[in-house]
Amino acid sequence: MELKPAEVLISKEAIAERVSAIAKEITSRYDGGSVLMVGILRGAVIFLADLVREIGPSVEVSIEFMKASSYGASTQSSGKVAITQQPTMEIEGRNVIIVEDIVDTGLTLKRLREYFADHGAASVAVCVLLDKQDRRVVDVPVEYTGFVIPDEFVVGYGMDYDEKMRNLPAIFTVRPVDE
Ligand code: 5GP
């Protein structure tokens, strides 16, 4: 099916305001220390880029990327998540913040938290732009949340449909092109 943006769910301005508030929280939490911000490809790239630029100079920030994909019945608790691109930086002893676009079932973030714990991170936190709370299948702690949204498919601000629409500056719902 071909889809196009329908309505603005979260405006550019609202995103910017919330990103800045989260960055302030991160700055005060890690003040005088360092963090490794790990963006989950590809959807979190724009969020990560905006977020790190709002974190104050009192925090030493490094950036890393990794990729995960779910296979099998991803909406079931049995859904499996594979790490398809591993980080190359040293993780041991680092304060990791996983930066993700959306937490939906929670399966991806649960797997990612385990990955960093298994690799000796000093601490692990999760920062998501959007939380589809109603869809959660597994419990996973999320330390920083941008917005809680209803169970609707969204695109823009890094998030895609079929690798398209990531460039939209706001977050949109979608509808079929012929409607
Ligand atoms: P989960 O929490 O179910 O393991 O997976 C979350 C992932 O599903 C997100 O990182 C994102 O890639 C994808 N996802 C979930 N809902 C949406 C949505 O509304 N739009 C887009 N573009 N991706 C979504």
Q: What is the pLDDT of residues 129-177, one digit of tens each?
A: 999 999 999 999 999 999 999 999 999 999 999 999 999 999 999 999 9
Q: Which helix (H) or strand (E) holds 63?
A: strand 60-71
Instruction: Tell me, yes or no, whether 63 lies in a domain.
Output: yes
CATH number at residue 29: 3.40.50.2020
Q: Whose CA is nearest to atom 5 of ligand 1?
A: 104
159 lines ligand 1 (CB under 6 A): yes
Residue 71: predicted pLDDT: 77
160 lines ligand 1 (CB under 6 A): yes
Q: What angle do CA 9, 157, 26 make, to 5 degrees?
A: 100
Instruction: Tell me, yes or no, whether 146 lies in a domain.
Output: yes
From the list 50, 101, 104, 131, the catalytic residue is 104
**β-bridge mates for residue 85, sequence order:** 67
Report the distance separating Cα 59 and Cα 148, nearest Å. 27
Cα 164 from chain centroid? Answer: 18
Q: What is the pLDDT of residues 109-121, one digit of tens each?
A: 999 999 999 999 9
Q: Which helix (H) or strand (E) holds 176?
A: strand 171-176
Instruction: Tell me, yes or no, whether 117 lies in a domain.
Output: yes
Q: What is the pLDDT of residues 76-110, one digit of tens each?
A: 556 789 999 999 999 999 999 999 999 999 999 99
**Total domains present in the chain:** 1
Q: What is the pLDDT of residues 42-62, one digit of tens each?
A: 999 999 999 999 999 999 999
What distance in angstroms lies between residue 110's CA and the mean position of ligand 1's atoms?
14
Q: Please give the residue range of the domain that contains residue 114.
A: 11-154
Instruction: Tell me, yes or no, whether 32 lies in a domain.
Output: yes
